[in-house]
Amino acid sequence: MNNFSGLDLVKPLRRAIDAEGYAAPTPIQAQSIPHLLAGRDLLGVAQTGTGKTAAFVLPMLQRLEASANGSPASGRPRALVLAPTRELAVQIGDSVRAYGKFMGLKYVNIFGGAPIGKQISTLNRGVDIVVATPGRLVDLLNQKKLRLSEVEVFVLDEADRMLDMGFINDVRKISDLVGSNRQTLLFSATMPNAVEKLAAGMLSDPVRIEVAPQSTTAERVQQRVLFVEKQQKRGLLSAILKDDTISRALVFSRTKHGADKVARYLEKGNVSAGVIHGNKSQNARQKALKGFKNGNLRVLVATDIAARGIDVDGVTHVINFDLPQDPETYVHRIGRTARAGADGQAISFCDLTERDFLFDIEKVTRNTVEVDADHPFHAPEIANAEPSGSKAARKSRNGGGRNGGGGRPPRASKGGKRFKPGGQKGHRHGQRRGNSRAA
């Protein structure tokens, strides 16, 4: 579908879409919106950056506008959107405001870290839509500050992350309180068994929309891995950031303490950087995110939970300062670049302790990440290390290799070339020839 005119959206929504500058719907929007306008429940499998927020916000607004009957009742919303993090809740709220600008519908964001009194006051005045995180919403339900019996549309976004963060019991409690005469939508980037089971209990005869195979990575993201000793990662990051084409970089750290250290290091090197993680106040996180969005900060350093829901246009690079321990997180991370049809790069640093993480990522994504050996900190012994569970690694640990120390000899790294921060793909690593399907 080449434009939104074929989606049967009402004029106020078409005006808002035009005002936002969107010309054509994304695949998930084109496939989902007609079913949602027809009232179907929906199970959407889509990575971040595919346009799924508009896919559910637009038909939700159209339904609520059509069924509006005067001002909304105090503490009785007609639509509920659940998101795993504050950042994602804010992003969805921004979309509700943007797409509903020519309608008279009211919404409120409900999440922890913000004054609960103000949220209660807004609920008391009446809202059509609540966009919330589970924890704060359950608090308000326990205080009997709102009722969900009149909810017509119930959306669970990023269900896989919701479960990863331990919200499963809260989600089930909330779902039980939502009226049975509702339209239910569940979106997830991946579909593990736990999410399948949750969906089966929440949805009624849903249409399933899957816009990309599970656990595959964004096709427009150029991925490469740089092998480096752990203690040299910060030096490598500085060298990488000498490339002026890296205009907006999202850097992922595994820990809050590590994120703080990386951000301080960059600031000392005159690289404008902000940091967000769970120990930062909501105001500090919003300030850092705003600075990153408006270009005042070139780099945003984040942990995975804090970065969930970050939706910033123009992220040219995602840098995995620390590789994640599970492949699904890697998929979520690199999906922050190459959005809205743009190209992007994902650069991963890999030390010896992370070697198994890389092999797991390649196995799940069915993609062999190209090695960039043209940097001053390249560590060939890490590049040629076997995963700890492989036969070669066990043979090496038992001293049974052909070369005295066991295992295969290290492959020589590419030498004699000047390091170019933009990166030049090197050899493939390890013995992964059997799964070299392109991303």
User: What tens digit of pLDDT does each residue of 297-308 get?
Assistant: 999 999 987 666
pLDDT digits (tens, 9 = 90+) for 156-193: 999 998 998 899 999 999 999 998 899 999 999 888 89
Mean pLDDT of 29-54: 91
Q: Does the pLDDT value for residue 434 go beyond 90?
A: no
Give the span between the Cα atoms of 213 and 190, in whole angstroms. 9
Give the span between the Cα atoms of 195 and 161, in whole angstroms. 10
Give the span between the Cα atoms of 188 and 51, in whole angstroms. 13
Mean pLDDT of 247-251: 96
Assign 55 to helix, strand or coil. helix
Per the listing, tokens 């993680």 go with 277
Mean pLDDT of 254-273: 96
The pLDDT, as a whole number, for residue 399 is: 44
Q: Residue 25 in contact with residue 4, Cβ under 8 Å?
A: yes
The pLDDT, as a whole number, for residue 424 is: 42
The pLDDT, as a whole number, for residue 306 is: 65
Strands 129-132 and 107-110: parallel
The pLDDT, as a whole number, for residue 281 is: 85
3-class SS string, 99-167: HCCCCCCCEEEECCCCCHHHHHHHHHHCCCEEEECHHHHHHHHHCCCCCCCCCCEEEECCHHHHHHCCC
Any idea which fold 221-435 has?
Answer: Rossmann fold (3.40.50)
Assign 15 to helix, strand or coil. helix
The pLDDT, as a whole number, for residue 278 is: 81
The pLDDT, as a whole number, for residue 86 is: 87
The pLDDT, as a whole number, for residue 389 is: 55
Q: Residue 301 in contact with residue 271, Cβ under 8 Å?
A: no
Give the span between the Cα atoms of 195 and 190, in whole angstroms. 8
Q: Does the pLDDT value for residue 436 go beyond 60?
A: no
How many other β-carbons are positioned within 10 Å of the β-carbon of residue 345? Answer: 23
The residue ranges of every structural domain in the chain are 4-210, 221-435
For residue 326, report the phi and psi dihedrals to the nearest 5 degrees.
Answer: -130, 145
Q: Residue 127 in contact with residue 72, Cβ under 8 Å?
A: yes
Binning pLDDT at 50, 70 and 90, where does residue 319 land? very high
pTM above 0.85, yes or no: no
Mean pLDDT of 404-424: 39
The pLDDT, as a whole number, for residue 423 is: 45
Q: Residue 146 in contact with residue 175, Cβ under 8 Å?
A: no
| Region label for 109, one of left (φ > 0), alpha (ψ between -120 and 50) or beta (otherwise) | beta
Percent of the residues in the chain that have a pLDDT greater than 90, as a whole number: 63
Residues 6+ apart with CB under 8 A from 242: 421
Mean pLDDT of 271-282: 90
pLDDT digits (tens, 9 = 90+) for 321-343: 999 988 878 888 888 888 766 78
The pLDDT, as a whole number, for residue 173 is: 95
Give the span between the Cα atoms of 284 and 405, in whole angstroms. 51
Q: Does the pLDDT value for residue 40 go beyond 50?
A: yes
Identify how many contiguous H helices and E strands the chain contains and give both numbers.
17, 14
Mean pLDDT of 270-293: 90
Per the listing, tokens 């589970």 go with 134
Give the CATH number of domain 4-210.
Answer: 3.40.50.300
pLDDT digits (tens, 9 = 90+) for 355-407: 999 998 888 788 899 999 999 999 999 999 887 654 444 344 344 433 333 33
Among 77, 71, 79, 31, CA closest to 55? 31
Per the listing, tokens 């992350």 go with 161
The pLDDT, as a whole number, for residue 206 is: 97
User: Do 4-210 and 221-435 share a fold?
Assistant: yes
